[in-house]
């Protein structure tokens, strides 16, 4: 395989991830959410009492963008805003019971994906796994340099 073929394959994978991020995810509750909404729920679920500033930092986006996302999730009754018990001028975020349901469902979805990917990875020799990791790290560094 030529280096050009490898690069084209990486770009193809990147385009597929981008397309997946644009699709809505459908949950058993009947609510459809964007990938960004789901990942926001995931971060809030993993970081109870998180504030907008910390959430924005974790997502690598502006506080304004996070605030808009949180407002949408509050309207869908997935996230609850509360005053911080530590300071009166800070709002912290929690998942509602419905938000917890989506958080758990998303977590199960990831576990299924990891199981499937692990099945493929187990078929590789240790040397092939090492080469794959080297290539992925190189591609990750390549993308870091483009940011």
Q: Which structural domain range is residue 53 located in?
A: 3-146
Among 108, 98, 86, 111, smallest CA distance to 41 is for 98
N-terminal to C-terminal alpha carbon distance within the chain: 28
Write down the pTM of the prediction: 0.79
Write out pLDDT tens, residues 91-130: 999 999 999 999 999 999 999 999 999 999 999 999 999 9
| Separation between Cα atoms, residue 122 and residue 39, nearest integer Å | 28
Reduced 3-state DSSP string for 32-65: EEEHHHHHHHHHHHHCCCEEHHHHHHHHCCCHHH
Write out pLDDT tens, residues 60-86: 999 999 999 999 999 999 999 999 888
| CA angle centred on 47, ends 44 and 51, rounded to 5° | 70
Give the CATH number for residue 44.
Answer: 1.10.10.10
Number of domains in the chain: 1
Neighbours of 51 (CB within 10 A): 18
């Amino acid at each position: 395989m030529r280096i050009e073929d490898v690069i084209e394959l990486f770009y193809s994978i990147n385009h597929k991830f981008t397309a997946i991020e644009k699709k809505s995810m459908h949950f058993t509750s009947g609510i459809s959410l964007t990938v960004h909404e789901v990942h926001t729920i995931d971060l809030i679920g993993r970081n109870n009492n998180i504030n907008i500033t910390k959430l924005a930092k974790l997502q690598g986006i502006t506080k304004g963008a996070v605030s808009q996302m949180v407002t949408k999730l509050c309207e869908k009754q997935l996230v609850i805003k509360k005053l911080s018990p530590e300071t009166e001028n800070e709002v912290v975020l929690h998942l509602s019971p419905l938000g917890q349901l989506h958080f758990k469902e998303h977590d199960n979805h990831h576990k299924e994906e990891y199981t499937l990917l692990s099945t493929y990875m187990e078929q590789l020799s240790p040397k092939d796994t090492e080469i794959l990791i080297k290539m992925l790290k190189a591609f990750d560094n390549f993308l870091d340099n483009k940011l």
